Chains A and B, each alone.
Chain A
């Protein structure tokens, strides 16, 4: 039962990550490989506030969201000028720089040693600790975030974002401020990623930079590629499939060391097969042509 709770908690975290990345990739049409950087920045901002300054969860969460959204400007503003392949490279550059900073700026982040002793979130005498409570808490947070993201996607904002994805020039000729929309989309996605980061930090009670690498960014991106982009079902299915799949391997009795590699091989394979045979993913709306 505990195992089941753990899986659901991880799925919840990754649903928030994949739905928010979908805003950039599926709705905005911009392929970005730096979402783990936002995930990590959110986790670290909140963690440092809670561990070093004794803040409680909610205020730390708020600052983490706003801080990550603001920091997203570092990548979103310059990348306005970059097209296609160059944009992807730029996002990879940002991701790598963030990781290098998290790993080497040991005075601030304690680098590879990580930060432990992260307090469990507590609200009015209710401490969220233990798997059952975390199950409920993470599912609630996931639903709240998903609700906001769905509102965004179905609103005129979402519609205009899609139009920019479809034809930037035409959208501009209709009066849409392209740079502003792109910057807002990045900031929103970054903010949600920060929420996921805070959930992760509060649940694991320990974070270190190795959870926020480029491979993690690719992992989140592959949820959208495999599950599908542009709508809600796609990223959600992608998150569920990619979290559950490696666990199934465990049931096949594979030793843990090999299982880690096999999981990666399977998802690399899944990426290749889906791109080749079904570029809109399992349940997606939008094909990367």
Chain B
């Protein structure tokens, strides 16, 4: 029983990490309708930037973390300006943006490999201190992950539904042209979206790095999980991505409990296929949006 609960708890915490990435991904994807695969590149890049600052240069957390978040935000914005905006000017479809995104991911990951090698790296030497409660155990990073997620999710939801900024973001999701016509500075909003989305991604990368270490390939699997979480939670519903992510995290643990660690990744894709076929609007989405969302 304890093993089950422990696995469940770990799964939930993993879900929190996915949720951070998913929220950032959903923010970008819902407002710009681009499948920002390069998000995976931002994730990997941030992880290694943090590694350089914290582990190699021994900068304190209080400096390393904000620096990394800032750099990630700049990278995200740069990707939009260099890659996506020119394509949009040519009225290219989001399909082309997605493919460019994939190309950029390949470039980023390989640059990292060239400078840091292909092996995984540990950020924190030795074991992390743990907290025990009621037969269950969490290490400090996991607790930090949980706390971060709660704070981020709260801020995110409050902003989305109770501030002017939130209204503009939701309007951008629904109809970006109309938004621009209404005098809102859509460009500024877009900078914000890419900046914050990328920072959230970096946050997740930092936390995971502290917990289990980093390697050049983590970005893609996390981002795909985030994309699946977004679909499962509901396209067009920002917080749905977090819900989907938590669900996937827990389901993955259940798979480990019942089957073995090997089949963990399969869970994500089975969830994807099931939702695409049976409930494409996701848990929280409304039916009919699929027609608006789909390309071609």
Contact = CB atoms under 8 A, between A and B. Distances in A.
Interface of A: 29, 31, 78, 81-90, 92-94, 96-97, 100-101, 103-104, 214-215, 218, 221-222, 225, 258, 261-262, 264-265, 267-272, 275-276, 279, 288-289
B106 A264 contact: yes
Interface string B94-131: 11101110111111011101100000000000000000
Which 4 A-B pairs have CB atoms at the shortest separation, nearest pair first? Answer: A84-B295, A83-B294, A268-B106, A271-B103
11 contacts: A82-B294, A85-B94, A85-B295, A86-B231, A89-B227, A89-B276, A265-B110, A265-B111, A268-B110, A271-B102, A279-B96
Contact of B270 (A86, A97, A276): A97
Residue among B87, B106, B263, B265 having the largest count of chain A Cβ atoms under 10 Å: B106
Nearest to B271: A93
B63 interface: no
Given A78-B277, A271-B102, A289-B91, 9 more contacts: A82-B276, A85-B294, A86-B280, A96-B224, A101-B266, A218-B102, A218-B106, A261-B111, A269-B103
Contacts of B86: 276
B43 to A, nearest CB: 16
Nearest to A222: B103
Nearest to B41: A268
Contacts of A84: 94-95, 294-296
Interface of B: 35, 83, 86-87, 91-96, 98-100, 102-107, 109-111, 113-114, 220, 224, 227-228, 231, 262-263, 265-266, 268-270, 272-273, 276-277, 280, 290, 293-296
A269 B107 contact: yes
A266 B58 CA distance: 33
Contacts, number: 128
A280 to B, nearest CB: 11
Contacts of A100: 263, 265-266, 269
B285 to A, nearest CB: 13
A284 to B, nearest CB: 14
A104 B263 CA distance: 7
Nearest to B115: A261
Residue among A29, A97, A101, A221 having the largest count of chain B Cβ atoms under 10 Å: A97
A270 B104 CA distance: 10
Nearest to B82: A272
Nearest to B260: A104
Contacts of A271: 99-100, 102-103, 106
A275 B294 contact: no
A161 to B, nearest CB: 15
A270 B106 CA distance: 11
Contact of A85 (B98, B268, B273): B98
Contact of A275 (B103, B111, B262, B276): B103
A119 B109 CA distance: 37
Contacts of A258: 114
A225 B105 CA distance: 16
B296 A29 contact: yes
B100 A275 contact: yes
Contacts of B95: 31, 84-85, 88, 288
Contacts of B224: 92, 96
A89 B262 CA distance: 22
Nearest to B261: A104
Contacts of B113: 261
B45 to A, nearest CB: 14
A171 to B, nearest CB: 14
A289 B269 contact: no
Given A86-B294, A89-B276, A104-B263, A96 B35 contact: no
B273 A90 contact: yes
Nearest to A225: B99
Nearest to A263: B110
A279 B103 CA distance: 14
A81 B277 CA distance: 8
